[in-house]
């Protein structure tokens, strides 16, 4: 596990040089809508700003289902359900990751405010859900501990 | 490019419950290969889901989505026999697509 | 052509890459340590003892407790003391409990006892599974002194605020995943690969399917009856080595152990046998001897960390305890899910790769996947797991 964490932490320095350059080279039309500034933000505050969600209101109508203790940080199952009416999008932020914003899911035409995925987590962290509904932002968070391995790897 | 994918869509509580598994390395750009060279950053950047021709989900991802990405979502108002398509595009412009029919 | 009673096998060449070279990285970026531990015992050879005899030293032991604390918490040193011990108020998260809580050890033990125990616990406690930190040169003598100086500072019991952090009250992990859900388990991509390899024509113009037209019926129980003692090779063959050798002798395909096609075919064949009990043929004298050899190997102290399979995976020793945040399981229940998707590694491992990783984890040189010692252990494990239902591909951490 710590190898993964090391890899992940190292990312922060190199991505600006390596990854950002390759994003720019991407020739598909969707790259235009890809939230570059958000995904390249190194702190949660900046990531939230990129989503215009800095002032998101805590909501009990957002449920985050994730293990209390994840077996490792490579594939942490996270499911977010929003019961807030007219949920338009869900973003998932892993506070302590080198790049906290992991994903944004926009819903339309009857899809529910529900998404399930698996995330990489560099270490124990809060997982934060940001929900946009009727143009307003709501949030909830849950701590996920990442298991530390016993055999040094 | 024929990257393998798996999809399943099943009616549950008046919605189609869709599960998708994609085969993709989701490289962070920092992993070294056997020769010690960095493996270039390479990950699925966007995923769209289409229900009977209409986009129901438009996702943007970072490299923090796990290798062989899993995606689950639900489509209200769908019914058995409807068609669900999921498409992805990665940072190198590679694409993947799969479709299925919703089962009861 | 129907398969003959005795399956043709190529029996001369190795079934895995030669010379065997340890893996370096896996697809998740996790690394395999590259250290050569050839001065320590492996499953193939017992190394002469590295015990340095009795040491002359003066008490009290003088050392730097701050350096000792750093060493005790350093995961690069054999996984750190925290893997097995609670170590007072500064204990890092998720300590293990294979060894006793040492939070008050500084109040109860003498300097020379602490030094001797850390240097080589075997002198004071025959049943200890703690690595001989000094005798096996994981730490040098000044470092052992520093660790002792740190241990001497430990005088207050540690109170856990979170019961989940306390290894004595932490809830063992419970797997709720459906490993046979193909939208959850990426190993099904490998199963598809195996299925197409099964139907692919080899150098001899034949595929597996040329002789095995209905694999779903022909192999319904086969993987459950493997591994088995093979007199032509005078060793135990598992599914994976069988695939390599049988393909060479029939289709002419070279499908080395742990190659993508081999793993794919192994999953395909195991998956067909899902639900059938593990039931290896233990009726002949050679198989019985192989099981006995496997059991003996599982008792052997291996590597720089000086640990045996049984130390961690039997309830008489330390199974059902925590190695840091990881829960140690008993042998029973560890076999039927192979080959298995490992979420932490992002790869599918056959059982031999699991053995190799265990070897490397205790800092012992691993053997090639086709090593006869692994065959003996695989058969001994199959005997322990007799009656468990094949359930492949699995998902494990």
Q: Which residues of B touch A (CB under 8 A)?
A: 15, 19, 28-31, 38, 40-41, 45-46, 49, 51, 54-67, 69-78, 89, 91-93
Q: Which of C24, C25, C186 sits opposite B68 (nearest CB)?
A: C186
Closest Cα in chain B, distance from residue C345 (Å) = 10
* CATH number of the structural domain spanning residue C205: 1.10.760.10
- pLDDT for A30 equals 40
Q: With a cut of 70, which residues of chain A have pLDDT below it?
A: 1-32, 151-153
* B4 interface with C at CB cutoff 8 Å: yes
Cα separations in angstroms, B79 against B10, B75, B86: 9, 9, 17
B20 pLDDT higher than 50 = yes
Element (DSSP H or E) covering residue C152: helix C141-152
For residue B96, give its domain range. Answer: 5-101
Which residues does chain C have within 8 Å of residue A147's beta carbon, measured at their own beta carbons?
94, 324-326, 397
Report the number of distinct structural domains present in chain B.
1
Report the number of distinct structural domains present in chain C.
2
- CB within 8 Å: C78 and A149: no
Dihedral sign, CA of C75, C77, C80, C84?
A: positive
User: ipTM value of the model?
Assistant: 0.95
Closest by CA to A59, choosing from A78, A83, A77, is A83
Q: With a cut of 50, which residues of chain C have pLDDT below it?
A: 1-2
Which residues does chain C have within 8 Å of residue B20's beta carbon, measured at their own beta carbons?
183
**Which chains lie within 8 Å of chain B at 3 or more CB pairs, if any?**
A, C
- CB within 8 Å: B30 and C184: no
Closest Cα in chain C, distance from residue B40 (Å) = 12
Domain-located, residue C55: no
State phi, psi for C377 to the nearest 5 degrees: -65, -40
Domain-located, residue C385: yes
Q: Residue B102 is encoded by which pair of tokens?
A: 């919703």
Domain-located, residue C5: no
**Residue in chain C lying closest to B31 (CA):** C29
State the fold for domain A2-146: Immunoglobulin-like (2.60.40)
- pLDDT for A110 equals 86
- pLDDT for C279 equals 98
Closest by CA to C145, choosing from C67, C56, C54, is C67
Domain-located, residue C7: no
- pLDDT for A4 equals 41
DSSP for B5-61, written as a single string: EEEEEEEETTEEEEEEEE----B-S--B-TTSPBPPPB-EEEEEEEETTEEEEEEEE
Domain-located, residue C241: yes
Closest Cα in chain C, distance from residue A25 (Å) = 25
Which residues does chain A have within 8 Å of residue C28's beta carbon, measured at their own beta carbons?
4, 74
Are residues C109 and C136 both part of a single domain? Answer: yes
- pLDDT for B31 equals 86
* CATH number of the structural domain spanning residue B59: 2.60.40.10
- CB within 8 Å: C183 and B21: yes
Q: Among residues C117, C152, C187, which one ends one of the domains?
A: C152
Element (DSSP H or E) covering residue B75: strand B70-76
Are residues C129 and C206 both part of a single domain? Answer: no
- pLDDT for C270 equals 98
For residue C183, give its domain range. Answer: 18-48+178-397
Q: Which of B55, B60, B89 sits opposite A103 (nearest CB)?
A: B60
Size of interface A-C (CB pairs under 8 A): 76
Alpha-carbon span C343 to A121, nearest angstrom: 13
Could you tell me how many helices (H) and strands (E) chain C has, helices first? 13, 7
**Residue in chain A lying closest to B87 (CA):** A30
Q: Which of A75, A124, A152 sits opposite C79 (nearest CB)?
A: A152
Domain ranges (residues) in chain A: 2-146
Q: Residue C70 is encoded by which pair of tokens?
A: 């750093």
Q: Which residues pair with B60 in a beta bridge?
A: A104, B46
B90 in helix, strand or coil?
strand
Suggest the residue from C344, C346, C348, C366 to mutate for an interface test with chain A (most A CBs closer than 10 A). Answer: C344
Closest Cα in chain A, distance from residue C333 (Å) = 18
- pLDDT for A24 equals 38
Suggest the residue from C92, C164, C326, C396 to mutate for an interface test with chain A (most A CBs closer than 10 A). Answer: C326
- pLDDT for A11 equals 38
Are residues C201 and C133 both part of a single domain? Answer: no
């Amino acid at each position: 596990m710590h190898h993964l964490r090391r890899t992940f932490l190292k990312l922060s320095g190199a991505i600006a040089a390596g990854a950002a350059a390759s994003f720019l080279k991407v020739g598909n039309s969707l790259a235009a809508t890809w939230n570059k500034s958000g995904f390249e933000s190194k702190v949660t505050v900046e990531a939230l700003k990129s989503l215009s969600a800095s002032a998101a209101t805590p909501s009990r109508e957002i449920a985050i289902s994730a293990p209390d203790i994840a077996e490792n940080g490579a594939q942490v199952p996270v499911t977010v359900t929003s019961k807030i009416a007219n949920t338009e999008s869900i973003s998932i932020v892993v506070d302590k990751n080198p790049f906290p914003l992991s994903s944004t899911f926009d819903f339309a035409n009857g899809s529910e405010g529900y998404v399930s995925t698996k995330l990489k987590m560099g270490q124990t962290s809060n997982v934060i859900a940001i929900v946009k509904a009727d143009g307003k932002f709501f949030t909830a968070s849950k701590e996920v501990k990442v298991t530390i391995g016993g055999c040094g790897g | 490019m024929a990257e393998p994918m798996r999809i399943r869509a099943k009616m549950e509580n008046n919605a189609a419950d869709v599960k998708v598994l994609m085969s993709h390395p989701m490289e962070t750009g920092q992993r070294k290969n056997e020769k010690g060279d960095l493996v270039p950053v390479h990950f699925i950047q966007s995923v769209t889901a289409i229900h009977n021709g209409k986009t129901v989900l438009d996702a943007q991802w970072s490299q923090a989505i796990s290798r062989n990405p899993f995606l689950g979502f639900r489509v209200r108002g769908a019914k058995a026999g409807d068609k669900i398509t999921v498409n992805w595009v990665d940072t190198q412009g590679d694409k993947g697509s799969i479709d299925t029919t919703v089962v009861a | 052509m129907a398969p003959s009673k005795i399956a043709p096998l190529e029996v001369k060449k190795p079934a895995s890459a030669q010379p065997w070279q340890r893996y370096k990285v896996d697809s998740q970026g996790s690394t395999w340590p590259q250290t050569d531990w050839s001065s320590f015992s492996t499953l193939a050879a017992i190394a002469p003892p590295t015990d340095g005899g009795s040491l002359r030293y003066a008490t009290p032991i003088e050392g730097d407790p701050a350096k000792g604390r750093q060493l005790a918490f350093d995961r690069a040193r054999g996984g750190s003391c925290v893997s097995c011990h609670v170590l007072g108020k500064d204990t890092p998260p998720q300590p293990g409990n294979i060894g006793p809580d040492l939070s008050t050890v500084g109040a109860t033990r003498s300097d020379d006892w602490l030094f001797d125990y850390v240097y080589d616990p075997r002198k004071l406690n025959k049943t200890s599974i703690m690595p001989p930190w000094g005798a096996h040169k994981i730490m040098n003598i000044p470092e052992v002194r520093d660790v002792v100086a740190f241990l001497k500072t430990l005088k207050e019991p540690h109170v856990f605020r979170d019961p989940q952090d306390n290894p004595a009250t932490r809830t063992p992990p419970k797997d709720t995943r459906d490993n046979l859900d193909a939208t959850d388990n990426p190993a099904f991509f490998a199963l598809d690969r195996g299925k197409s390899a099964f139907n692919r024509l080899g150098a001899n113009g034949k595929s597996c399917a040329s002789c095995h037209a209905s694999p779903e019926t022909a192999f319904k129980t086969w993987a459950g009856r493997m591994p088995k003692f093979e007199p032509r090779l005078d060793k135990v063959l598992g599914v994976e080595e069988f695939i390599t050798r049988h393909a060479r002798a029939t289709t002419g395909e070279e499908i080395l152990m742990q190659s993508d096609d081999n793993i794919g075919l192994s999953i395909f064949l195991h998956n067909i046998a899902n639900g059938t009990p593990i039931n290896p043929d233990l009726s002949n004298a050679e198989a019985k001897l192989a099981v006995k050899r496997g059991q003996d190997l599982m008792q052997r102290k291996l590597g720089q960390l000086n640990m045996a399979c049984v130390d961690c995976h039997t309830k008489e020793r330390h199974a059902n305890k925590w190695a840091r945040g990881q829960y140690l399981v008993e042998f029973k229940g560890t076999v039927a899910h192979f080959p298995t998707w490992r979420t932490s590694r992002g790869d599918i491992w056959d059982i031999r790769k699991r053995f190799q990783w265990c070897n490397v984890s205790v800092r012992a040189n691993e053997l090639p996947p086709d090593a006869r010692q692994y065959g003996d252990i695989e058969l001994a494990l199959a005997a322990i797991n007799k009656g468990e239902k094949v359930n492949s591909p699995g998902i494990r951490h």
